[in-house]
Amino acid sequence: MTAVTAPIPAAPVWARRAAHAIALCAIPSGLWRIAMASGVYVGYSDQVLRDVFDIPGWGVAYVVGLSVFTELAALLPLLLVSDRWRPLRPRTLTALAWTASAVLVLVTLWQLVVAFTVESRTYMSSGTAQTVWGFTFAPLFAIPVLMTAVTWSYAERHRARARP
């Protein structure tokens, strides 16, 4: 006798929207970094760009690479709401997603500490530049909450399927 497994329920609309919102939250900071790498004034003097960020130089590759990596990582939660493509077993993907959620929470807490220290403010030249920087990086703080919600939804859908 073979066991019949129930089909996986579709991801709820709110989870799909949250997964897409994660990708959208990474865009402003990525564009800000690319603007910095392109030579657009973002609040840092030319000397700070050269000495601290190595722009122009290898810093350009680092900053653009970080932007691309961040956006690619922000697209990964779409796997948790996809009905078509399943690269990993559900249990493995659930464990990875919970780990990513925990890491995101810790990184966000650390970034809050860094954002409110004197060291992070010493290089910006004006209050306007800091305000723009804050608005472009603020959406990143929503990602851990959204990722945790999407992960919970994915885990619940697959847990419901595993129950007899």
80 near 148, Cβ under 8 Å? no
Segment 2-8 shows an average pLDDT of 58
Is the pLDDT assigned to residue 28 strictly greater than 90?
Answer: yes
Per residue in 93-124, pLDDT (tens digit) is 888 888 888 998 998 888 778 777 765 556 77
Measured CA to CA in angstroms, residue 116 lies from 11, 109, 120, 130 at distances of 37, 11, 7, 12
- What integer best gives the mean pLDDT of the chain? 83
Segment 75-92 shows an average pLDDT of 80
Radius of gyration of the chain (CA): 20
- Note the helical H segments in the chain: 13-25, 27-38, 46-51, 58-75, 78-81, 90-115, 118-121, 127-137, 143-162
Alpha-carbon torsion 18, 21, 22, 25, what sign? negative
Find, among 131, 102, 126, 128, the residue nearest to 115 by Cα: 131
